[in-house]
Amino acid sequence: MSIVVKNVTKIYGKQYALNNVSFEIKKGEVVGFLGPNGAGKSTMMKIITCFLPPTSGDVSVCGLDIWNDSLELRKKVGYLSEANPLYYDMYVREFLEFIAGVHHLKNVGAEVDRVIKMTGLELEQHKKIGALSRGYKQRVGIAQAIIHNPEVLILDEPTTGLDPNQLVEIRNLIKQYGKNKTVLLSTHIMQEVEAVCDRVIIINHGNIVADTTIDKLPRDSASLENLFHELTQK
Ligand code: ADP
Ligand code: MG
């Protein structure tokens, strides 16, 4: 198993952001994590990537446990957070070289070349990050997430705020990466899941309400609202 989440609860103050959540993701799956704003998607992703401890429960990634093996676990995981924090004053290539250094990669130049090519940043690599469009900033965010060739890629709303062309390009990029690796991506767009994922886990108010393959989704599930309606009628 690439990701195992077992009975995870996260309480902020008195609020349950996650309520006894469990799921497993196999190696090579591309899974959509779908839910409305405030459902608990980002919280779950921060827990899987060891940025936040759960209140209770267990998570492992590639057999490594968040409580005992967090340093090793982080090496297996690439993460694009919701905020996509980037150093706007750095040049694209300089930033990626810096991240490669953080991961102690050996052939920094070659690895940076590889991700620049994969993410289509060839023409932007000598620009300052702050000067890039939102779509290209997202590409830099994805490039830093995959530079160490992680087994598991966690992308928190990677296409939010992109224009339709950029959207297609980023989705293709995710699909490409998902051919050999495990990907979990969050979104509140139903069509995104259909375009990119094999499987969907749906969360609402911190509870998993569905976990199914795309072909088994209710027929009238064009929108998230319709889907929730269908699911709660059963
Ligand atoms: P999503 O990513 O699905 O929009 P989040 O995981 O960001 O959802 O948030 C889940 C719930 O937890 C929301 O109600 C949110 O307001 C709350 N929450 C998230 N982070 C914090 C925090 N640091 N402190 C208090 N409440 C938080
Ligand atoms: Mg979020």
The answer to whether the pTM exceeds 0.85 is yes
Q: Residues with Cβ within 5 Å of ion ligand 2?
A: 41-42, 82
Which residue CA neighbors atom 21 of ligand 1 most closely?
12
Nearest to 79 by CA among 190, 195, 185, 196: 185
pLDDT in tens, 19-76: 999 999 999 999 999 999 999 999 999 999 999 999 999 999 999 999 999 999 999 9
Higher pLDDT pick, 88 / 160 = 88
Using the mean position of ligand 1's atoms as its centre, give its distance from the Cα of residue 47 in Å. Answer: 12
C-alpha span between 7 and 22 (Å, rounded): 5
Using the mean position of ligand 2's atoms as its centre, give its distance from the Cα of residue 106 in Å. Answer: 34
- Reply yes or no on whether the pLDDT at 221 is more than 60: no
CA 182, 187, 192: angle at the middle one, nearest 5?
80
CA 146, 188, 141: angle at the middle one, nearest 5?
20
Residue type, 195: A
Pocket residue to mutate for ligand 1, from 15, 34, 46, 154, most atoms within 8 A of Cβ:
15
- Reply yes or no on whether the pLDDT at 83 is more than 90: no
C-alpha span between 25 and 112 (Å, rounded): 29
| Ligand 1 pocket by Cβ (under 6 Å) | 12, 15, 17, 35, 37-43
Using the mean position of ligand 1's atoms as its centre, give its distance from the Cα of residue 15 in Å. Answer: 9
pLDDT band at 190 (very low <50, low <70, confident <90, very high): confident
Atom number of ligand 1 nearest to Cα 157: 2
Which residue segments constitute the domains of the chain, with CATH numbers given? 1-76+154-234 (3.40.50.300), 83-149 (no CATH)
Q: What is the dihedral of CA 133, 38, 21, 78, to 10 degrees?
A: 10
